[in-house]
Amino acid sequence: MLIKKPTDIASSEVTPKQLYVNRRKFLVGAAVAGAAAATGLSLRRIASPPTVAEAKAKIDNVRKSSFSTSETITPFKDVTNYNNYYEFSTDKYEPAGLAKDFKTRPWAVTIEGLVKNKQTLDVDSIIKLAAPEERIYRHRCVEGWSIVVPWIGFPLSVLINKAEPLTKAKFVEFTTIYDPKQMPGQKVAVLEWPYVEGLRMDEAMHPLALLCFGMYGEVLANQDGAPLRIVIPWKYGFKSAKAIVKIRFTDKQPVNTWNKAAPSEYGFYSNVNPNVDHPRWSQARERRLGEFSKRPTLMFNGYAEQVASLYAGMDLRKDF
């Protein structure tokens, strides 16, 4: 075992304080307590997780992207067997098995709100909007661990431009599928379902923002957000909404799910910032999945040169 005793990570880190101190939610969402209790076990098993992910269809004609990092890629078996995906389970090792038979076809995405082209698109028609490209991105989770993944997709701006947002549209809101029959985690009131996330329009249009439908040369794994997700590499992982079924353009800042659950802990922007700690733990260092030693957390997850200008003049302690 690489990690014998993760004494530097408290068990309470998995779930926001407001969820486990609220008795009603605690009783309804017993899975939260289970997640907290299992955290140590999960971290101890990072080096050799039980592999349940199966090979998916290969994606052909994928071009390499200049946005990719040159860092060592996290092994496929780790990324597909250690997942934050509360729709399936609060235990990080359960989503891979629970999502195995998740149905991703047929699948439609509704585009609505302040746009010229309100429409419902089949996911496969969306995937064909642009040539697929591989982007090797760092991905940093709020709980102190990180991964490096070769995601496959194309700029989110391609789909946004197809929708033709009105000038009044200042934000984009993403909603995940609500299907408790397939997603057992949604039977528990751990969070308010369906899962909602949002971006400011200039963030969503940034070249780094990826509309993702694959990883490691294959179709996206169910437990990693299939069939369609976004990847926003300079923000904490929960901002990258998975299994998207609705995209809404609005003039008002969306109330995202984690911000609604614990507004003092999870802000709307959630940019990776080593100088702004979570109320219950430091964000200054991170552990790469599968490694023992921690490394310094980079501002904007290492993408400061590309995205810092988006937040010029903002107080990043206030707008966290």
- For residue 194, what pLDDT is reported? 98
d(CA 301, CA 32): 28
d(CA 27, CA 12): 17
d(CA 1, CA 254): 43
Instruction: Tally Cβ neighbours within 10 Å of residue 287.
Output: 21
Is the per-residue pLDDT at 211 higher than 90?
A: yes
pTM: 0.85
Would you give the DSSP letter of residue 78?
H
d(CA 209, CA 214): 15
Which tens digits make up the pLDDT trace of 233-244?
A: 999 999 999 999
- Which position has the token pair 């089949």? 122
Terminal-residue alpha carbon distance, the chain? 36
* 205 to 47, 95, 114, 270, 317: CA distances (angstroms): 37, 30, 16, 17, 24
Is the per-residue pLDDT at 261 higher than 80?
A: yes
Assigned CATH topology for domain 11-311: Sulfite Oxidase; Chain A, domain 2 (3.90.420)
Is the per-residue pLDDT at 259 higher than 70?
A: yes
- Which position has the token pair 């599928």? 177
For the chain, the structural domain boundaries read: 11-311
- For residue 51, what pLDDT is reported? 54
Is the per-residue pLDDT at 15 higher than 80?
A: no
- Residue 150: phi and psi, rounded to 5, are -85, 85
Is the per-residue pLDDT at 191 higher than 60?
A: yes
d(CA 238, CA 139): 10
Contact yes or no for 98/86 (Cβ under 8 A): no
* 304 to 195, 300, 310: CA distances (angstroms): 28, 5, 10
